[in-house]
Amino acid sequence: MVNFYGKEFPSRLLIGSALYPSPAIMQAAIRSSGANIVTVSVRREAAGGKRGDAFWKLIRELDVTVLPNTAGCRTVREAVTTAKLARELFGTTWIKLEVIADNDTLQPDVVGLIEAANILIKDGFEVFPYCTEDLSVAMRLVDAGCKVVMPWAAPIGSARGIINRDALRLMRDRLPDITLVVDAGLGAPSHAAQALELGFDAVLLNTAIAKAVDPVAMAKAFRLGIDAGRAAFEAGLMEARDFASPSTPVVGTPFWHAVS
């Protein structure tokens, strides 16, 4: 079970609701993933009119917990305003907080992110901040009151997998009591497994599933990868070594020779 602000969920996969070829495929992929939490863009739904109402109906049919996000926001004011709109639209204090600094990489504005997180937490929100793998940023978010931190593996939609494994490992070691979710940049089930093997509590995915040739099958593949990664972490992975270590030692072992 994974814990988010005092609520426990069996699935360690959070899944996005954008970019799918059709609403029916979106529903089928989410079901196939086994995810209990689905992220929804507040900007898209607020501007969707009747289309937005139809989308919200599809999400309700899935019987999942909605995590609204501030995707597309580029200023603190914009992100805070969008979060407040999300609270009204979805009736939740949960918000996936995004403040974007760069249009090409979609890298988070970490200064603005921390400022927005402080404002929202004081206003009663439970914040899921999307950040880089920088430990100092994560620690400042925790100091602000975040009980969940969501560092990227790589830029959004890049499918590169974990590009700074050591930084993520350090974050896990230094923040043992914080729920950590790898968010963005994962492109294959093996990438998700690696995140769980590092001890991260969950991953958030969208593009890698929605843009697959078969999103439904890919959602299942990611679910299995996450299960395998978590099982490996709990079992205790052996440490990497610089030299070979024979599985059948020969030093000091007697050899028996047949006598003709």
What are the catalytic residues? 96
- Do residues 190 and 196 touch, judged by C-beta distance below 8 A? no
Angle at 44 between CA 160 and CA 184, to 5 degrees: 15
**Pairing relationship of beta strands 2-4 and 7-9 according to DSSP bridges:** antiparallel
Residue 194: both structure tokens together: 């690696």
Q: Tell me which residue of 93, 87, 137, 168 sits closest to 129, measured CA to CA.
A: 137
Q: d(Cα 82, Cα 251) in Å, to the nearest integer?
A: 67
Q: d(Cα 4, Cα 1) in Å, to the nearest integer?
A: 10
C-alpha distances (whole Å) from 65 to each of 4, 14, 38, 59, 217 are 11, 10, 6, 9, 22
Task: Give residue for tokens 């030299």.
Answer: 243
- Do residues 193 and 229 touch, judged by C-beta distance below 8 A? yes
Integer-rounded Cα Rg, in Å, for the chain is 21
Q: d(Cα 82, Cα 94) in Å, to the nearest integer?
A: 12
Q: d(Cα 224, Cα 78) in Å, to the nearest integer?
A: 37
